[in-house]
Structure 1
Amino acid sequence: MNFQNTLSFARTMDEQDPLRKFRDEFLFPQQNGKPFIYLCGNSLGLQPKSAREVLGKELDNWQNLAVEGWFEGDSPWMFYHKELKKLMAPIVGATPAEVCPMNTLTVNLHLLLVSFYRPEQKKFKIIMEAGAFPSDQYALESQVRFHGYDPAEAIIEIAPRAGEYTLRTADIIASIAENADELALVLFGGINYFTGQWFDMKAITEAGHAAGAIVGFDLAHAAGNVPVQLHEWDIDFACWCSYKYQNSGPGGIGGIFVHEKHFKDDTLNRFAGWWGYQESTRFKMEKGFVPEPGADGWQISCSQVMPMALYYASLQIFEAAGFMGPIRDKSKILTAYLIYIIDQVNLAIGHQQYQVITPGNENDRGTQVSIIASGNAKGVFEKLVAHHVLGDWREPNVIRLSPVPLYNSFEDVFLTGELLLKISKEIAI
């Protein structure tokens, strides 16, 4: 597409946008009575306008039904998670039986590692990306120590080549093959939080399985952002938070995926709890854990109804939008336009003040664009915020901007570029 660095072009693109009406489904933060251009959905998604109504309905049920709300009303709490499963599944390319809303991200990662990190005397190592989000690093370090291994020996981190910011798929696959004899698990993020690189999840999974390893993914920055196909790609397990691209609110409920091929494997360890017990006989209160079939069998504690209600509000918007197909179509164009606008800013300044470190290939990224700002990087970011553009700062000099298809517009992107150029000319850099 031939982009133009003009307000009229951006507005024309917005007029032609089939998702434009969904912008009105969200509430934008304000500063001094003026709404922000919000480009931080990669950290916390906006509040759906329907969230208050959906949550209010469950508060009313609590008020009017109290404990009977578990089994009475329009949406009994005992089965509330099943409504979410139907809407979660298309977002991550799974069957409803393979997904379940529960807990939070790192709690779920630990629970899944109990089942799927099964080190043996020879095959005990884990391959992951260097620079993964710290919670993944900490979780793996503690899991490895729990099994009696030294993280320095058991965890293999794959880093970009010298002078590069993103990983090459060939290097990931080569590392998996080189360590096949000792490899128990491959665990990657679907998208790297810092650079925005979308890893080739299918190729990584195939390589991991060829090495005789289990393959799992942390989809914190991928679920609701890019169209992953967990079932089709034969991924063993995955987990994600729902408060970024899926707009479930701060600390919102997490989700898990377990491929159906593992449902009948009674050799898998798991930390069991009453809520994961077979639903049909759960209230017999018998000893001896019998898991509910599917991902639901990994539940431990009772459903978190209020956080699930907030998630449900957002999932209904995804359904109305047609799930990930239309979202991805807009994402590609909107993100490409942001990169184009940043290039235009550099041209106007006369040098590369802002270096995009997110992959240039649209198939290797989601909506996030990470830029290294030379000079007074923090000053530039602070000026953006002061002028109602809210992105995300990462030390030492990276600004992350995430134009989310459900609520960001092409005009948002154009105005951000216009402001960035103005700030760059004014501030000492």
Structure 2
Amino acid sequence: MEYSNNKEYALRLDQEDPLRSYRDKFHHPVQSNGQPYIYMCGNSLGLQPKAVREYVEQELKDWENLGVEGHFHAKNPWMPYHEFLTENMAKIVGGKASEVVVMNTLTVNLHLMMVSFYRPTTERYKIIMEYSAFPSDQYAVQSQVSFHGFDPKESIIELKPREGESLLRTEDILEVIEQEGDAVALVMLGGVNYYTGQFFELDKITEKGHEKGCMVGFDLAHAVGNVKLKLHEWNIDFAVWCTYKYLNSGPGSIAGCFVHENHAERDDLPRFAGWWGHDKDTRFLMGPDFNPIKGAEGWQLSNPPILPLAALRASLDLFGEVGIDALVEKSRKLVAYLEYSLSELNNERIEVISPKVEKERGCQISIRVIDTDKSLFEAISEKGVIADWREPDVIRIAPVPFYNSFSDIYEFVQILKSVL
């Protein structure tokens, strides 16, 4: 596709965008001068869908009027409320409804999954993860390894890009699994790397891990709602994610979890149990013996928080209307236009380190600032851009297909050009 670096062209692309009306379904932060910010930070916190207030206020009203009876007689009864989100969430991640549950927060879910799927022995105890993964993943993995009595320095294998490169090559990941696999209990990567925006080939990684007898799981915080996922088809053992980035559920909101149906009825898998994971038909008999629900719901601990669920449901209903395929299609167009516009700057002070191949990225472009400090990021912030800085030298830009436009990209690049 041929692009043009002018405002009229960007406006024409916006007019041709079949999803353009969804931009108005979100609240946009406004500057002190009354102008909206150019918001390119959905990979950190998604914007608020306008419907959130209605969804949350309905639950506040039912709590006000019904008290505890809201569990059964609210407009949307609280007892099964998390089930109202399952179908749309399952479609987004490419799983069956029985394989998906909304619960807890991301790192809590990661620990719960590792209780079940990281079962080290004296011969097979290592974990493979990417170098410089998101810190929370590093801390979780290190603590689990230590909990089992192993030394993290000897037990964690970190995948590093080749010298002089920013991205991991799939063949290098597979080679490490092949070489180390007999001693590896778990392969656990981020689905999309938070720093570079690289979308790993999860299907190939999973296949190779299973070939070597490893369990395979992924942190999909930067992948869910961003890229096309097929967790069931790819035979992934487990996955966890947050919902406040591309799923627009609000700061620190509830998270999600996938457990493949292969493990639905495995009695040999240990787990940390809680009463909300107990069989629904006998849960309120309050018996002493835990009888887990078959499927991902069996890993639940406590009854879920209704107000965060309501906020997330408002967003997931939009995903249900549009579908992940249409969002990914627009995302690719936005990112291609951003990539083109940045290349037109032809400025040696910046370098795009995200993948150039469409299938290897989502809607994030990471811009490395060469031989400088945070001043460039601060300069674009002062001119009305909300983006994200990651130490030591990267500005992360995420044009989200639900609410970002081609004009946003044009204006952002003009601001960047003015301060370079």
Distance 1:49 1:376 in 2: 39
CA contact (8 A) 1:377 1:398 kept: no
For 1:264-293, what per-residue CA distance to the aligned partner results, in whole angstroms no more than 9, with x for missing partners?
A: 100000000111100011000001100011
Query: What is aligned with 2:345?
Result: 345
1:380 shift after superposition: 1.5
**What secondary structure, in the 3-state scheme, does the structure 2 residue paired with 1:29 have?**
coil
Query: What is aligned with 2:364?
Result: 368
Partner residue of 2:389 out of 380, 393, 401? 393
1:6 aligns with 2:2: no
Gaps of 5+ in 2: none
Distance 2:272 2:136 in 1: 20
Whichever residue aligns with residue 381 of structure 2, its letter is V
1:54 aligns with 2:55: yes
Partner residue of 1:378 out of 374, 379, 390? 374
Distance 1:9 1:200 in 2: 34
Whichever residue aligns with residue 15 of structure 1, its letter is Q
For 1:84-124, what per-residue CA distance to the aligned partner results, in whole angstroms no more than 9, with x for missing partners?
A: 01110010000111110100000000001000001112011
Query: What is aligned with 1:408?
Result: 404
Query: What is aligned with 1:79?
Result: 80
**What secondary structure, in the 3-state scheme, does the structure 2 residue paired with 1:143 have?**
helix
Query: What is aligned with 1:38?
Result: 39
Report runs of 4+ in structure 1 exceeding 2 Å deviation: 374-377
Identity %: 53
**What secondary structure, in the 3-state scheme, does the structure 1 residue paired with 2:188 have?**
strand
1:422 shift after superposition: 0.9
Query: What is aligned with 1:155?
Result: 156
Query: What is aligned with 1:173?
Result: 174
1:375 shift after superposition: 4.6
Normalising by the residue count of structure 2, what TM-score does the alignment of the two structures yield? 0.99
1:194 aligns with 2:195: yes
Distance 1:337 1:367 in 2: 11
Whichever residue aligns with residue 122 of structure 1, its letter is E
Distance 1:66 1:360 in 2: 54
1:303 shift after superposition: 1.2
Distance 2:219 2:233 in 1: 17
Map of 1:176-325 to 2, 5 A cutoff?
176-321=177-322, 323-325=323-325
CA contact (8 A) 2:46 2:249 kept: yes
CA contact (8 A) 1:129 1:159 kept: yes
Distance 2:39 2:166 in 1: 26
Query: What is aligned with 2:124?
Result: 123
Distance 1:65 1:128 in 2: 48
Distance 2:126 2:148 in 1: 11
For 1:4-53, what per-residue CA distance to the aligned partner results, in whole angstroms no more than 9, with x for missing partners?
A: 10111111111111111100010011120221110000000000000111
For 1:301-353, what per-residue CA distance to the aligned partner results, in whole angstroms no more than 9, with x for missing partners?
A: 111111111100100111111x210001011110011111111112xxxx422
1:97 aligns with 2:85: no
**What secondary structure, in the 3-state scheme, does the structure 1 residue paired with 2:281 have?**
helix
Whichever residue aligns with residue 339 of structure 2, its letter is I
**What secondary structure, in the 3-state scheme, does the structure 2 residue paired with 1:135 have?**
helix
Whichever residue aligns with residue 394 of structure 1, its letter is R
Distance 2:339 2:387 in 1: 15
Query: What is aligned with 1:336?
Result: 336
**What secondary structure, in the 3-state scheme, does the structure 2 residue paired with 1:230 have?**
coil
Query: What is aligned with 1:25?
Result: 25
| RMSD between aligned residues | 0.8
Query: What is aligned with 2:114?
Result: 113
Distance 1:61 1:140 in 2: 41
Normalising by the residue count of structure 1, what TM-score does the alignment of the two structures yield? 0.97
Whichever residue aligns with residue 326 of structure 1, its letter is A
**What secondary structure, in the 3-state scheme, does the structure 2 residue paired with 1:279 have?**
coil
1:74 shift after superposition: 2.1
1:234 shift after superposition: 0.2
1:374 shift after superposition: 2.2
**Aligned in 2, Cα 1:413/1:295: closer, same or farther, shift over 3 Å?**
same
Distance 1:51 1:134 in 2: 30
Moved more, 210-219 or 30-39: 30-39
CA contact (8 A) 1:111 1:270 kept: yes
CA contact (8 A) 1:249 1:310 kept: yes
CA contact (8 A) 2:115 2:272 kept: yes
Distance 2:73 2:269 in 1: 35
1:73 shift after superposition: 2.2
**What secondary structure, in the 3-state scheme, does the structure 1 residue paired with 2:217 have?**
strand
Whichever residue aligns with residue 223 of structure 2, its letter is A
For 1:371-391, what per-residue CA distance to the aligned partner results, in whole angstroms no more than 9, with x for missing partners?
A: 111254422111111111111
**What secondary structure, in the 3-state scheme, does the structure 2 residue paired with 1:21 have?**
helix
CA contact (8 A) 1:165 1:195 kept: yes
CA contact (8 A) 2:62 2:75 kept: no
CA contact (8 A) 1:78 1:303 kept: no
1:395 shift after superposition: 1.2
1:149 shift after superposition: 0.4
CA contact (8 A) 2:42 2:245 kept: yes
